[in-house]
A = this chain, B = another copy of it.
Amino acid sequence: MRGKRVRIRAKGRIFEGIALPSEDGKIVLKLDNGYNVGFYDYEIIEEEEFEVPEVKLPAVKEREGLKNVKVISTGGTIASKVDYKTGAVTSQFTAEEIVSDIPELAEICNISAELLYNILSENMRPEYWITLARRVYEAIKEGYEGVVVTHGTDTMHYSASALAFMLRTPVPVVFVGAQRSSDRPSSDAAINMICSAHTALSDLGEVAVVMHATTSDDYCHIHRGVKVRKNHTSRRDAFESVNYPPLGRVWSDGRIEWIAERFRRGERELQLFDSLEEKVALIKYFPGLTPEILEFFHDRGYRGFVIEGTGLGHVSTDWVDTVKRVAEDSLIVMTSQCLWGRVCDRVYDTGRYLLKAGVIEGEDMLPETALIKVMWLLGNFELEEARELVKKNLVGEINYRSGYEEEFE
């Protein structure tokens, strides 16, 4: 393999480093300090090709006394690796590669790695969730102590929700990603990966997301898969639990502090419901949006709808008639674009007209979680049953309010 080292002038300064793959006439350099810089306007002063010696990674040996963890890769920043020496983007995602990158992992568990997909997280689709759920199900049946799924961060919370509904798991199923790739000094890949391995061995029996809890390298949060959301485009602590506390904190030395009620290891029997209805729409309401949008989807065969209404769960009053018509053969769930808080009926407003028209309130579910829940319900149950089940807390996605006392607030 050959690499290329270049010296350029850009923005009035000199930069020198390994040229990384790029496009559109942009040049991207990996500087010697590990940082990347990119420029459209630049002048090459000097360049030199060099031969990169092939590195043979040592085989990973199983260590006695360590438990087995399955690591399944679906792609994303955490799995992508730009070779520091060649500039090539490579990833075979073998156990050898992972352990060579993060040697601490070999002390924690015996890793069996598998590259299931290598897709950009924004290209995730319901059909991929089905394959992933089946693969995780098999791994659990094979007896792994826990499963780690590496995933791009963009849609990781959608995927975690999907697996939480499709799979009742007696062991930890841990989604993990990285906001900064492992070739950057500020990368969160290693600590996230180490913390997810510890979580995979823990007394957890549900689908979780493990990611940086703070902007420093302190510890990670273990988030409930159906209660987590990416709330920042770039920060390492972008993932936050919404309307439920993180399940716990996990440090890279293996210490875990549980915070909230969780499903425990072995609490639920392994079950797979590997069907999803893809034709479900999430619609965010805004002032001026007309209800034709419902008909657009309905005409195309959609029978599941999640509305992201305003405030406590509203849309314009002129939606009521259309909602009523569409709800006749569909499941319509109301959530809130506030994201935090609960959708609920109130005493003096149009909310009650929507309920009469057939809208079901999503309680404190995130819109993204409600979307996946409806996909899953319509994929596995008849409409009437789905309408009943959507109101019920199935895997921790709903926390009910305490009852009528709430009106005293």
Contacts and interface: CB of A to CB of B under 8 A. Distances in A.
Contacts of A301: none
Interface residues of A, number: 84
A100 to B, nearest CB: 22
A236 to B, nearest CB: 10
Interface in A331-361: 336-344, 347-350, 352, 356
Contact of A314 (B22, B154, B292, B407): B154
Nearest to A367: B284
A233 B312 contact: yes
A155 B120 contact: no
A173 B314 CA distance: 26
B407 A342 contact: no
Which of A23, A313, A347 is the most central at the interface, judged by chain B CB atoms within 10 Å of its CB? A347
A153 B37 contact: no
Nearest to A13: B404
Contacts of A407: 35-38
Contacts of A153: 311
Given A317-B122, A348-B89, A371-B286, A39 B404 contact: yes
Contacts of A275: none
Given A26-B347, A36-B347, A296-B296, 6 more contacts: A37-B407, A120-B349, A122-B316, A125-B287, A158-B287, A233-B340
- A-B pairs, top 8 by smallest CB distance, nearest first, are A233-B341, A122-B314, A154-B311, A154-B310, A284-B284, A232-B340, A232-B341, A124-B287
